Amino acid sequence: MHQILQYAQTICNDNLELKIFCPFNANGANNYLKPTNTTASSLVSETNFKTSEETLPMVEAIKNHVGEVNWRQTYSMSEVGEDFASRHCYFELIGPTGHFYNDAIRGFICYWGENLHYKWHSHEAEEIYYILGGKALFKTKTMTKVLKANETKFHKSWESHAMETLEEPLLAFILWRGKGLDKLAQIDD
């Protein structure tokens, strides 16, 4: 897990939007979270994500350490449906309940299979998406944009957003800061 953390640190140092969003302090204690699987987590290691020069090392590290990760699933079947629930998973790399402790930021690694619709949702914490691999259509009430590896998107506190994966799966690094850090997202529609 340390290797993934180190690559996340490198990306946060090298990418200006991430660097401005929050200081990435990787010195927090290792929480030694137990490895867990979800239905989707095995798909992560099987996928050939379209990466960029900047994201390839971190994507390879995640794929190589899939079995050490505490994978989670955010939403219930009734909220998002069985297909979404079985082809989406995430883990908290750094944060209050993450692999590495931090009380000022939260960093998630999230996977979505191809052709999934992530419903309109929101959360109090401010957020920045950084695409590690694949591409997807990102929506807010004011804009729609396709993002690919090494691109970012910022969401304000409680700004509702949605996302659609296209013909390929998506792997993203998501950072949260500010109030509501310890809460999760809620579905808006």
- At its nearest, how many Å lie between Fe ion and the CB of residue 79? 15
Structure tokens at 158: 């409680």
Q: Tell me which stretch binds Fe ion (CB under 5 A): 8-16, 71-79, 111-119, 124-132.
A: 124-132
Q: Which is nearer to Fe ion, 3 or 122 (CB)?
A: 122
**3-class secondary structure, 28:** coil
Closest approach, Cβ 123 to Fe ion, in A, equals 6
92 interacts with Fe ion by CB under 5 A: no
126 sits near Fe ion (criterion: CB under 5 A): no
Closer residue to Fe ion (CB): 92 or 127: 127
CB of residue 122 to Fe ion, shortest distance in Å = 7
Chain position whose Cβ is nearest to Fe ion: 127
101 Cβ contact list (under 8 Å, min separation 6): 28, 29, 30, 31, 94, 95
The answer to whether residues 127 and 184 touch, using CB atoms and an 8 Å cutoff, is: no
Q: How many residues does the chain have?
A: 189
Under DSSP, the state recorded for 68 is G
Dist. CA 17–CA 53, nearest whole Å: 17
Interface with Fe ion includes 127 (CB under 5 A)? yes
Residues that bind Fe ion (CB under 5 A): 127
